[in-house]
Structure 1
Amino acid sequence: MTLFDDRERGFENKFVHDEELLFRFYARRNKLLGNWAAELLGKSGPDRDAYAREVVLSDLVEVDHESDVYRKVSEDLEALADERTIKVKMAEFLEMAKQQVMSEEK
Structure 2
Amino acid sequence: MTLNDRGQDNELLYAHDEERKFRIEARATKLLALWAAGKLGKTGAEAETYATGLVNLDLGAGGSQDVLARIRTDFDAAGVQQSDHQIERHRTECLEEAAKQIAAS
Give yes or no for TM over 0.5.
yes
Aligned equivalents of 1:13, 1:76: Cα separation in 2: 40
Other structure's SS at 1:61 match: coil
- Shift in Å, 1:52: 0.7
Question: Which letter maps to 1:4?
Answer: L
TM-score (norm 1): 0.91
Identity of aligned residues (%): 34
- Shift in Å, 1:40: 0.5
Question: Which letter maps to 1:21?
Answer: R
1:57 maps to which residue?
56
Q: CA RMSD in A?
A: 1.2
Aligned equivalents of 2:59, 2:47: Cα separation in 1: 20
2:44 maps to which residue?
45
| Structure 1 runs not aligned, ≥5 long | none
Deviation string, structure 1 residues 37-68 (Cα, Å, up to 9, x no partner): 000000001001100101111102225x4311
Deviation string, structure 1 residues 61-98 (Cα, Å, up to 9, x no partner): 225x4311111111111242210110000000000000
- Higher mean alpha-carbon deviation, 35-44 vs 74-83, is at 74-83
- Does 1 or 2 have the higher relative contact order (CA < 8 Å, sep 6+)? 2
Q: Do residues 85 (structure 1) and 86 (structure 2) align?
A: yes
1:72 maps to which residue?
70
| Structure 2 runs not aligned, ≥5 long | none
Aligned equivalents of 2:93, 2:102: Cα separation in 1: 14
1:10 maps to which residue?
9
1:26 maps to which residue?
25
TM-score (norm 2): 0.92
Question: Which letter maps to 1:67?
Answer: Q
Q: Which consecutive aligned stretches of 4+ in structure 1 deviate over 2 angstroms post-superposition?
A: none
Question: Which letter maps to 1:49?
Answer: E
